[in-house]
Every structure is written in C-alpha cells, then in structure tokens.
Amino acid sequence: MSETPPPLPDSLRVKFPQLRPIRKAPVLSTINGVGFTLYGKRDLDVETGTYVKTHVFCLVFIPVFCVGAYRVADAQRGWYFLGKEPLSSFARSGNIGVLCLSLIFGAILAESAYKSSPEYIAKQQLKKAEAALSSGEALRAAGIYSEMVRSGSAVEEARAGLRNALQQCVTNATPSKVEGAFKLLAAMKTRGDSPDSFVPDAWK
C-alpha cells in the first residue's frame, strides 16, 4: 500500500490553498541533457520565500513536457519541496501542443511507412498499368506488368494484366507495339518464364 503523505501545516494550507502534500521529492536526473529537471520561477511569496518551479522532461536540455509543479524554497544545494501546485495555464497549453505535434508526427510516420510498403507500391503500379491500358497504351502497361511479375509484386494481378496487355499488342496494327511485345516475351523466356502462358502460339 502507498504511504500517506504527511499533512501540511495549517499556516501553509491557509496561505496556499491549492498546495498538496507529497511523500517525496520528484525525480531530478538528466544524462546528456535528457531527463527530468526543474524550470522556471513563478508565484513568488515574499513572506515565506517560496516560489513555484515546473517539473519538466527535457531533450538536449530543452523542456518538452511538463510533468508537474512544486512550491519550493531555496536550499544550500537544490530546493526544499513544500508540496505540489497545479500546472500553469501556459504549461498545460504547452503539453497539449506537444501532444498534438506528437500525434501529427506519428501520423506522418505511419503514412510514410504505409506508402513505402511493398503492398502500397504494388497497388500504385497496378493503377498506373490499368490507366495506361485504358488509354490505349498497351505496350506501356505491358512493361509495368512485366516488371511487377519479375519483382514478384502482386503476381496474380500482374500476370493477368500482362496477359491482356500483350495480347492487345501482338494483335495491334502498329509495328512498334508488336515489336515491343515480342521483346517482352523474349525477355520472359530468358528468365525462365513461359511466353505461351501469356500469349499462346505468339511466335506463329
């Protein structure tokens, strides 16, 4: 069970109504500028000589996130901690800003990871090939499909698309398309794929 913090003296409770007792001082430790420390000095009380410092998490000595706030008094080395105070509105706004930026950054990383995935790239290549085929660029579509088959991306869809594109090319009246189709068929043969599985009896 957690230890109950000692009650505050009546004088402090009256003078600082928002002050809350604490069991122990917060963690204050940084390594190469990364860790927890105290920043700032607000709500100075001249009578007691105390003020509020904000407990923050730092990266390379730059405050990133406000963890809490404490009313302290100067000690010979460091501070005496009287209790915990609410965060200032500025600190709360900063925390919300950091949270929003973290969510945006996370979303950007997730989107970047998705768009660089083999599945996403394969889908984009299929869309590009389908668009070329629809606009009458069968040879260009065949080239895209052929590269996908060679690389092993979305093989079933790519093979079906390649079969359709090559058949359109070899039956086309344009010599350059026919020539390009046969070059693709010849390349398949050299890498061990059967041209007949795409265009049966193409050589005839």
Say what the pTM is: 0.64
Enter the tokens of residue 147.
């590269």
Which of the pair, 51 or 152, is modelled with greater confidence?
A: 51
Which of the pair, 173 or 137, is modelled with greater confidence?
A: 137
Question: What are the boundaries of each domain within the chain?
Answer: 10-96, 118-197
- Averaged pLDDT for residues 177-200: 73
What number of residues does the chain have?
204
Q: Which residues pair with 60 in a beta bridge?
A: none
Per-residue pLDDT tens digits for 51-97: 999 999 999 889 999 999 999 999 888 899 999 999 999 999 999 99
Instruction: Please tell me the predicted confidence (pLDDT) of residue 200.
Output: 67
| E-strand stretches of 10-61 | 29-31, 34-45, 50-59
Percent of the chain with pLDDT strictly greater than 90: 42
Which of the pair, 35 or 147, is modelled with greater confidence?
A: 35
State how far the Cα of 127 lies from the Cα of 125, in Å rounded to an integer.
5
- Averaged pLDDT for residues 114-121: 88
Give the HSE-up count for residue 71: Cα atoms under 13 Å, Cβ half-sphere.
23
Mean pLDDT of the chain: 86
pLDDT band for 202, please (50, 70, 90 cuts). Answer: low
- The residue to which tokens 């973290």 are assigned: 102
pLDDT band for 1, please (50, 70, 90 cuts). Answer: very low
Angle in degrees, 0-180, between the axes of helices 118-134 and 89-115, rounded to the nearest 10: 60
Residue 116 has phi, psi (to 5 degrees) of -95, 0
- Averaged pLDDT for residues 31-58: 93
Per-residue pLDDT tens digits for 162-186: 888 888 888 776 788 778 878 877 7
Percent of the chain with pLDDT strictly greater than 70: 90
Helices and strands (H and E) in the chain: how many: 6, 5
Instruction: Please tell me the predicted confidence (pLDDT) of residue 36.
Output: 95
